[in-house]
Chains A and B, each alone.
Chain A
Amino acid sequence: MNALRSEGPGPGGPDPAPAVGAPPAVEVRGLTVAYDGRPALRDASVALPAGSMTAVVGPNGAGKSTLVKAMLGLVPSVSGDVRFFGLPHAEARPRIAYVPQRESVDWDYPIRARDVVAMGLYGEIGLLRRVRREHLRRADEALERVGMGELGDRRIGALSGGQQQRVFLARALVQGADLYVMDEPFAGVDATTERALLELMRGLRAAGSTLLCVHHDLGTVPEFFDHVVLLNRRTVAAGPVGEAFTQPHLEACYGRNVRAAGPAADER
């Protein structure tokens, strides 16, 4: 029963103390989303302190991607209130970077890595204005930060899955956001990239940013994250990993036969 917590105080370390009185980075209350009249997400509520690194986990079809997409207004929600840093989405938008699922785009698209990263600056550049050399230089710097400094000229289709994920992260980095919302950043990447991404994300957290990741691998939750949201069409549990990532909660979320070690643990 306690196998989960026997590892001591999760390697995620002690929870970063949120500044007193600061509004949470993300506050979702009573979010309901329906597809074709069927609820994909019912009455989900989540509050993430600023400076936390949170995993959203749950079985297939639990509405993990739906939660983040509805938060960002990418799919319409039936009801619910979402605030970022105490502000409505429209006002907080420049402070939020979204990293979509890698499968969501056509990687055959004829574009260089550098140009994808520069898209992170479009909000700043403004409509109708051109991307200047200065912007491309900053895109290169962001690529440098994700360990791809040499690959800016590569066509994205020629990159490996892990490199493509790094390009997406660089695009978010160049935007200079306070909140990073990432949909399955570790899906299908090689072990090296997984470590590199994790290091970068921890660096962002250390610098005060908040990270929210849809995650599929239960086994790595305590190691990678400090907060967790267990989702199965509703919020089963949410909070610091030590409190929320427990065997009873996991069973409530996944059903009886889930092991805390997680289904993917045998691969590492």
Chain B
Amino acid sequence: MGFLARSRDRLLLPLKAGKWKHTPAPSSLNELVQALLRLGDVEQAWEVVKDGFAKFKDNDLVRELHRIVARAHAELGLKSAQKEVKEKPSATAFLRLARCAVLLRDLDQAFHALDECIRRYPTSAHGYAALAELIEQRWLRDLAAADGRLIINYLRKAWRLDGSDASRPLRLAAFLARIGAQRSALDTIEEVLQLDERHADALALRESLTKIIDAEVAAGRLNPDLNDDTDSLLRQIEEQGRVVTDPNDTARIARETEKLRAWLPILRKKTGCDHAFVLEPKGGCFDEKGQVASNPLTGLAANLARSAQITARRADLGAVIEIALETAGGALLLQRAQRCAIGLLVDDPSLAPACHEALVALVEGRLTTPTAAK
């Protein structure tokens, strides 16, 4: 069947290519791309689907096709990069491996590739910059101070290694401004402008930073003669679970809570646990019906989450992922999901591993479709 199907595809391929060329439409694109995929020509399918996506990006079929081919193309790239890393390792090969792993959402592999890249090639500015970019994505999710420090260090290192690329100091300045270290951000921008006084992005950033600093000084919230304590700012952000300057934070958490609440009935059914809830960063507790009144369980969960966060920070362990309180009378499991946490009170201690697995599945999106929150 496979042989016959491939032969038929090969025979019809020029016809399908011609149809797509002369009468471009989602259906003709679909036929051509599917034939190319069946023939194993992922590179060509990727070229065609990119063209199709540019023409019909609002079409659902084309978007789905683009997603499928992008994944196949990334898988192919990953295999080729893995082979290159093994046979002819170079910083570029590690970077390509990391990029493909990111596209396939395999962040562990991406981190591993970039760590290996800077270990083997400590002068690779691209390696440090890529690692900083990846850690910044994690920082935006976890707000861990340790990640923030790494971003600053790696971007500085990338800049030192390759002073000709202004994107690194600009990214550093943007990150510093984001955490509230505007004076440090401005200093960084000034250094960029010493090298290129007409750099448009740097000029724009300097203008906006100057306005912010002037306003803060006028309001008496900032002393222009002092330096920013970036470490303290990062710790403050981690402790508060929010970027102070982010006005949309409350709405964002409310949206996340709303989504997570819809999964609770399924989680209960799956685990057989009566008590499942969503815990917000500030300690508010919700089930699918709405906010839960304060009770020993909500108090315990909120205290545990808060203390765990502080302990993790003190031990420099990074962002909290999960907390398990195992006792002879049962277990309380808290699993971080985006900025909130999902909690489960397990009455039977022997069921704790299965319940933990269900929590992880929920967070990773492996549970079945949720019901709408009431």
Q: Do A and B make up one complex?
A: no
| A residues neighboring B (CB under 8 Å) | none
| B residues neighboring A (CB under 8 Å) | none
